[in-house]
A and B are shown apart, each in its own frame.
Chain A
Amino acid sequence: MKINNLDALRKSMADSLKVDCEVYRGIDGDQTLRIPSAELKRVVSFLVDQMDCRHLSTITAQQRVEDPDQIEVIYHFWHGISFSIMTMVSEELPRLPEIVSILPGADFYEREVAEMFGIEFVGREETPPLLLPDDWDQGPPFIRNEDHRE
């Protein structure tokens, strides 16, 4: 089943999963759906099992200046078209369910997001650092404590 109709997908997710999601139109070249972070695992399962949408390109995390208490996490998929799932977690308690048990290929991306943004992926045995050195003690590099712009 292809995802070319975002509204139809949203409807079927609302019906079969009882997940409330909205379309986000901000990304050019991408069809994005916003979902609550608690539903992440169910949505990804749905995508992988029901929709055969299995290619995860990467997981992007970012903080927007206009919303500094939240970390936005985007799961980018490719399914003939570019398709993404967007969730938000709070900076104080950054937690997301892991999806490595569904898509083993997500391992490296979760590890990178975990070390760069301090997000805890619940359900993983361990999340060893991927890129940062073993003796890094300065906290997640991307979390802005003050504005870093020159």
Chain B
Amino acid sequence: MNKISIPIGPQHPLLKEPLSMQIDISGEKVLGGSLRLGYVHRGIERLAEQRTYVQNVHLIERICGICSHIHTTTFCHAVERLLEIDVPQRAYYIRAMMCELERVHSHLLWLGIIAKHVGLDTIFMHTWHDRELALDIMEELSGGRVSHATNQIGGVRFDLTDHQEAMIRTTITDLSLRVNNLLDVIKNEPALQARTRGVAKVSPEMIHQYCVVGPVARASGVDVDFRRDDPLPPYDQLDFNVITHNDGDAWARTVIRAEEARESLILCERILNEMPDGPVHVRAPRRVPEGEVVIRSEAPRGELFYYLRSDGSDKPARLKIRTPTLAALSLLPKQLSSIQVADIPVVMAGIDLCIACADR
């Protein structure tokens, strides 16, 4: 059969955010593809240099809708490190709890997407229904389902009341039941397995070559999780499991996210139990002393990297952000060769694209 080139994007039912790919196919076999980003490039790094640190917290949150909290958390940690201030422990714990909730809702969102692409609309509907519980908690605490504005430089914006704590505990219990149920369904669902097992295997060697991070790397057996390896407080005091699988195929990437969601809920409870009392915020000076800092954290999609340089004024001199999706995307053209056309959605969904993050 002749080789034809299908464009996927910038607008396509497969994509939630704009991305342009040219995929070469012959019959039902995919030969390869090329990638073009930049449709949502807003120049965040350059914009950050023209705004004060306080304004930047607001800007950074809008890099991505799904992982907004981890971006601001990492940024605030970077600034607080340069300011050399002591942020109260309680603030760290609240930040961690929101991070874990974000991880849960991001993974559930993703599970729905991959189910939808395989044709299991029902699982998609149920997953997103359950995800609303996690968003309800976030809304109860911060007032927003998607944009939480939790972080400030020097701590967090709100504290937990007893009533909220009780509500969180019941919701987490409910959500844990549902996630466990979901995990059972997925593991016993033959159609999902038929579409994902053995598809687009990624070897640990490829992971290392392409510097891939996050659940994609862990699904191929590479044991790296920046909550454990380079912990931001309070993760250095928290006990949790890092889940890896060895298969490296789309199925491993599916299961690992579901299991991580379950693990995150357990961690959330632990955070609630171990949360110390105290203030949630400490005053931070507006001018940040000269210095440079590198901070890494574990976003739902992998390693989030921030490099911040300050020149003594109230605006950053340079902010460099590397989001995990960018690393995963570099693996995509390689993964696309040697699969079938029907597997394209599964492969693309397997990376858990967040183009807004990648483009900044």
A–B direct touch in complex (beta carbons closer than 8 A): yes
Binding site for B on A (CB under 8 A): 26-30, 54-58, 60, 62, 64-65, 74, 76, 78, 80, 82, 84, 103-109, 128-133, 141-142, 148-150
Interface size class of B (residues with CB under 8 A): 35 or more
In the complex, 19 of the A-B residue pairs with CB atoms within 8 angstroms, ordered by the A residue number, are A27-B294, A28-B82, A29-B293, A54-B209, A55-B213, A57-B211, A58-B307, A60-B307, A65-B311, A74-B307, A76-B305, A78-B296, A84-B294, A105-B210, A108-B326, A128-B36, A132-B41, A141-B43, A148-B49
B50 CB–A CB distance under 8 Å: yes
B161 CB, min distance to chain A CBs, angstroms: 35
B274 CB, min distance to chain A CBs, angstroms: 25
Interface of B is mostly: mixed
Please pick, from A29, A106, A108, A109, the residue contacting B295 in the complex, using a CB distance under 8 A. A29
Q: What A residues does B38 contact at CB under 8 A?
A: 129-133
Pair A27/B327 contact, Cβ less than 8 Å:
no
* Chain B stretch 40-89: residues in CB contact (< 8 A) with chain A: 41, 43, 46, 49-50, 81-82
Pair A103/B211 contact, Cβ less than 8 Å:
yes
Binding site for A on B (CB under 8 A): 36-38, 41, 43, 46, 49-50, 81-82, 208-213, 224, 229-230, 291-296, 303, 305, 307, 309, 311, 315, 317-318, 320, 322, 326-327, 329-330, 359-360
Pair B294/A55 contact, Cβ less than 8 Å:
no
Pair A107/B294 contact, Cβ less than 8 Å:
no
B146 CB, min distance to chain A CBs, angstroms: 24
Q: What A residues does B322 contact at CB under 8 A?
A: 57-58, 109
Q: Considering the chains assembled together, what is the distance between the CA atoms of A128 and B333 in angstroms?
A: 15
A47 CB, min distance to chain B CBs, angstroms: 13
Q: What B residues does A54 contact at CB under 8 A?
A: 208-209, 211
Pair B318/A62 contact, Cβ less than 8 Å:
yes
Instruction: Given A28-B291, A55-B211, answer yes or no on A62-B320 (Cβ-Cβ < 8 Å).
Output: yes
